[in-house]
Amino acid sequence: MAQPQTGPPAEPVTEPDDLPHTVHQHADRGREQAGPPCSVPVEHPGPEHADHGAPRSAGSSTYVLALLLAAGLIFAGPLSRWVGGNARLSTATTVFTGVFVQAVPFLVLGVAISGAIAAFVSPEVLRKILPRNESAAVGVAGLAGIALPGCECGVVPVSRRLIDQGAPGAAAFAFLLSAPAVNPVVLVATAVAFPGEPGMVAARFAGSLATAFVMGLLWSRFGRPQWFTPRPRGHEHRSAGRSRFETFTEAARHDFLQAAAFLTVGAAAAAALRVLVPATWYQGLSHRLWVSILVMALLAVVLALCSEADAFVASSMSSLPLLARLVFLVVGPAVDVKLFAMQAGTFGRRFAIRFAPATFVVATICGTTAGYLLVGAR
């Protein structure tokens, strides 16, 4: 006769799958070694649990998105007439559409890369690629941003995926800040927008890369993993019983729905702020260099332009000093209202309210320094 059990079967202790437990851990410590609270070993759900949690939520979000698109098509006529009858609302709608349409192609590219990382890049591969020294990993990740032609919208889910797959948080955030600003597409756009000003291209590259390095090093020194908001149970896409294609599609779908939702919020905030600021308010700043630098840095946060298009906007502000416009180009891809919203949704509000202000200060200082050295006080 079987002996009665004294309690429920022992189960391995698990923590939320996406706690960035490697943020402060060097690669050689390994994820299976016990350590601080942020490095608790994680047991991934088996195939019998793989379809619970995130897929159901992602499916519901897909239905909501489909219903909203259908409602937009049905009421397109009345909405168009209502918007067209109000000049300020029409301007806000144009700005919202511009920000969103500019960002979506690069968001799609970003989530595709994120899905590919989830499907094909294991934590062991990342540990082999990234240097063991965290400071060196920040440098490698920052330079890796040169290879990704995308904007800040698409790189947010990529950075989160890198952390989920075992990359140090400091390296992931260096990549997050460098990729939108130092890739070839952005640099070519800057050269086209400022013909005859090669210093603008060099200063934008140097200021943006310095921002990424400094913020990565600051996070490695002062960052705390508890500032992150864990993702729900069942979010882990790489699990037994799933093919790589299924892992890719599930990860890409989840990240797109999440990032697109917060991109919408950020684009709406940028549109609302745009119509509240008079078009001629900055004309009196042409002879106030340091004030114009601060104002242009704040304007970059408010306008929330895509990094592939912001150089043309800055070029059109010909009444402002060139140095102030350079700061605008360095700050914009690093921190703006839509990026803050996306970071809050992806990493958590506790992270965003600390990371965004620090990034603003560092980007303003790095942009001003690089611009002063390579462009001059003009």
DSSP 107-154: HHHHHHHHHHHHHH--HHHHHHHS-SSHHHHHHHHHHHGGG----HHH
- In degrees rounded to 5, what are phi and psi of residue 90? -65, -40
Q: What is the pLDDT of residue 7?
A: 46
Residue 266's identity, in one-letter code, is: G
Residue 80's identity, in one-letter code, is: S
Q: What is the pLDDT of residue 369?
A: 96
Using CA atoms, how far residue 177 sits from 55, 247, 338, 350, 375, in Å, is: 30, 27, 14, 19, 22
Asked if 228 and 20 count as a contact pair (C-beta separation under 8 A), the reply is yes
Encoded tokens for 206: 């140097």
Q: What is the pLDDT of residue 60?
A: 59
- One-letter-per-residue 3-state SS of 15-40: CCCCCCCCCCCCHHHCCCCCCCHHHC
3-state class of 173 per DSSP?
A: helix
CA distance from start to end of the chain: 91
Asked if 314 and 325 count as a contact pair (C-beta separation under 8 A), the reply is yes
Give helix then strand counts, H and E, for the chain: 15, 0
The closest of 229, 235, 243 to 344, measured between CA atoms, is 229
Matching residue, tokens 């599609």? 249
CA separation for the pair 361, 218 (Å, rounded): 12
Encoded tokens for 193: 């927008």
Matching residue, tokens 């200021």? 207
Encoded tokens for 354: 């600390």
Q: What is the pLDDT of residue 123?
A: 60
DSSP 8-state code for residue 376: -
Asked if 225 and 169 count as a contact pair (C-beta separation under 8 A), the reply is yes
Encoded tokens for 260: 């697109």
Q: What is the pLDDT of residue 289?
A: 85
Encoded tokens for 224: 């705390």
CA separation for the pair 108, 263 (Å, rounded): 12
CA separation for the pair 209, 58 (Å, rounded): 35
Encoded tokens for 299: 């304007």
Q: What is the pLDDT of residue 365?
A: 96
- In degrees rounded to 5, what are phi and psi of residue 125? -65, -45
Tens digit of pLDDT per residue, the chain (378 long)?
A: 444 444 444 444 444 444 444 434 443 444 344 343 333 333 333 333 333 334 444 455 566 666 766 766 676 667 666 666 677 788 788 878 877 777 777 778 777 877 787 677 666 666 677 787 888 989 988 888 887 655 677 788 888 878 877 788 899 899 899 988 898 888 888 898 899 889 999 999 999 999 999 999 999 999 888 887 765 444 444 455 678 788 788 877 877 776 777 677 767 877 776 777 666 665 667 678 888 999 899 989 988 877 777 888 788 777 788 999 999 999 999 998 888 988 888 888 999 999 999 999 999 999 999 999 998 877
3-state class of 163 per DSSP?
A: helix
Encoded tokens for 227: 């500032």
Residue 295's Cβ-side half-sphere holds a number of Cα atoms within 13 Å equal to 17
